[in-house]
Amino acid sequence: MNHIRAVDPDNATLTAEAGVPLVAVQQAAADAGLQFPLSLAAEGSCTIGGNLSTNAGGTAVLRFGNTRELVLGIEVVLADGRVWNGLRALRKDNTGYDLKQLFIGAEERSASSRRPWSSSFPRPGRASPRWRRLPMSPRQCAFCPRCGRPSAIA
């Protein structure tokens, strides 16, 4: 229950078992050139199953949403021992009720997650500020102390 089953960089998806630590999921996504944006203080010890169970938010929740928004599908073991397979790779699936939403954030009251199918995101490029010197008009130059020209305002 602690293996990463598949990483699909073309589809930006990752399938992991519930016992995989969050840091391992992030590393697997990074190795494929992707980013798994869920980031918590307990990255090294928390598991994906626990994050699903509590619908964890993390530090990037405002940009990427809770764990619920990162999950495309899930496979769970129901209370009576049956396995419900809701693994879907579709980003928009309106074929009926979205039953995975019943299990995410339920804190394992209704079932225990086995295998989530998570959505990943392309890694952001290196951001660097770009400064460009623009030509100044004579009026702007009057306010520039480094210009050396006499100020028009006296």
Domain definitions of the chain by residue range: 4-122
Type of residue numbered 16: A
User: Among residues of the chain, what percentage have pLDDT more than 90?
Assistant: 10
Residue bearing the bigger pLDDT, 3 or 153: 3
Bridge-based pairing state of the strands 34-35 and 121-122: antiparallel
Residue-wise pLDDT for 78-126, tens only, equals: 888 888 888 877 777 788 888 888 888 887 666 666 666 666 676 666 5
The closest alpha carbon to 99, from 112, 85, 115, belongs to: 85
Predicted pLDDT at 154: 44
The pLDDT of residue 58 is above 90 = no
Predicted pLDDT at 28: 92
User: Among residues of the chain, what percentage have pLDDT more than 70?
Assistant: 69
> Mean pLDDT over residues 59-86, rounded?
86
Residue-wise pLDDT for 22-43, tens only, equals: 999 999 999 999 888 888 888 8
> Mean pLDDT over residues 130-143, rounded?
58
Type of residue numbered 154: A
At a CB cut-off of 8 Å and minimum separation 6, what does 43 contact? 21, 22, 23, 26
Distances (CA, A) of 95 to 28, 85, 88, 91, 92: 30, 15, 11, 12, 9
pTM: 0.69
- CATH fold of the domain at 4-122: 3.30.465
SS3 of 116-134: the string is: EEEECEECCCCCCCCCCCC
Type of residue numbered 1: M
CB 7 within 8 A of CB 26: no
> Mean pLDDT over residues 139-148, rounded?
56
